[in-house]
Amino acid sequence: MSTLQRSAALLLCAGVTFVHAAEQDHPWDFNVGAMIESENVEGQGEDQDGLFEPSVYFNASKDAWRISVAMYQEGPVNYSDRSRGTYFDRPELEIRYQFTGSDDFTFGLTGGFRNYSYHFEDESGKNTGSANMQRYKLQPDWDIKLSDDWRFSGWLALYQFGHDLDKTGYADSRVETESGVSWRLNETVSVKVNYYLERGFNKDNGSNNGEFSTQEIRAYLPISLGQTTITPYTRLGLDRWSNWDWQDDPEREGHHFNRLGLLYAYDFDNGFSTTLEYAHEWEDHDEGKTDKFHYIGVGINYAF
C-alpha cells in the first residue's frame, strides 16, 4: 500500500472511531441531497457523446469532523431512444478533520475512498465485460483572511488509482487543485479568481495510459440577494492536452476549452435549498474539430 493510501485509510479509520467515541454535548448536523447532471456535445446526442450523471449524498458533521458518503453514476446516453451505454458506478466515503477554524484562518484535511465499477457495452448494446478500480484521496484545504475584504482559499487533492487501469484507461496518479483570492466589494457582490490544475500521470515508468493536463483561470461573481444567490462564472483555458488514445496513438492531443456558466441557488429557509446551473463551452481540438458543449445541473439539499 502506498503512502497516500495509508494516510487516507488512517484518516478514515480515525473518523469512524470518532463517530463511536463522540460526546453528545454538541448536536450533529446533517445534509442529504441529490443531483442530476448532463454533459452534451452539441448535435451528437444520438452518438452517445452526452453524459447523464445522477448522484445522491449524505453528510454528517460534528465539531471538527465531517463524514460524507455519496453514490454517483456516469455513462453516455442516447437521447433518441433514452438508452445508456457503457457506464460506471462510484460509491464514495470521505472524512474531513478541521485542525483549526476561525475567521482569520481555517485548515482541514480530507481522506477519501472511491470505488469505480465499470460495465462495458459495444455499439449493439452487448455486454463486453467489466472492471473494478479504486481511488484513494488525501486533500488539505485552507482559508486565510488577508484583510477585511480579501481572502486566500483553496484545496489540493492527491489521488492514487489501482486495479484494472488498462481496462479503464486511467493513469495511476493524479493531482488536482483550485486556489485563489476573493474580494468582497460589499454585502451583495464579491469576486473570486482562482487557478485550477488537474494532472494525470503514471508513477509506473512502464505505463503512459490516461495521462492528461488541464490548467485554467476560473473567475466567479457571486451576487447575494437575500435567499437567492446568483453566480456568473467563466473558465479560461491556459493549457490542455491528453493521450486517452494511448493504445492506438500515444501522441498527446492538444485542446483549448473556454466556458461561460451561471449558477442559481435558492435557500427556502426551512432546511431545503436548491441549485440550477447551466454552462456553455467552446472546445477546439488539435485535429481541427470544434465542438460546442453544454452542461446542465439540478440539485436539491435538505439540512437538519
User: Which residues of the chain carry a pLDDT beneath 50?
Assistant: 22-23, 45
pTM confidence score: 0.86
Q: How many CA atoms lie within 13 A of 16 on its CB side?
A: 11
pLDDT in tens, 89-109: 899 999 999 999 999 999 999
Domain ranges, residue 167: 3-303
Partnered with residue 295 across adjacent β-strands are 39, 279
Query: Based on the structure, what is the number of domains in the chain?
Result: 1
CB–CB of 51/71 below 8 Å? no
Residue 110 CA to chain centroid, in angstroms? 14
Q: State the pLDDT at residue 13.
A: 62
Cα angle 5, 211, 254 (rounded to 5 degrees) comes to 150
CB–CB of 255/263 below 8 Å? no
pLDDT in tens, 176-206: 999 999 999 999 999 999 999 999 999 987 7
Q: State the pLDDT at residue 272.
A: 98
Rounded to whole angstroms, the Cα distance separating 246 from 241 reads 13
Rounded to whole angstroms, the Cα distance separating 274 from 29 reads 18
Q: State the pLDDT at residue 78.
A: 62
* Percent of the chain's residues with pLDDT above 90: 62
pLDDT in tens, 63-98: 999 999 999 988 776 656 555 566 778 999 999 999
CATH of the domain at 9: 2.40.160.40
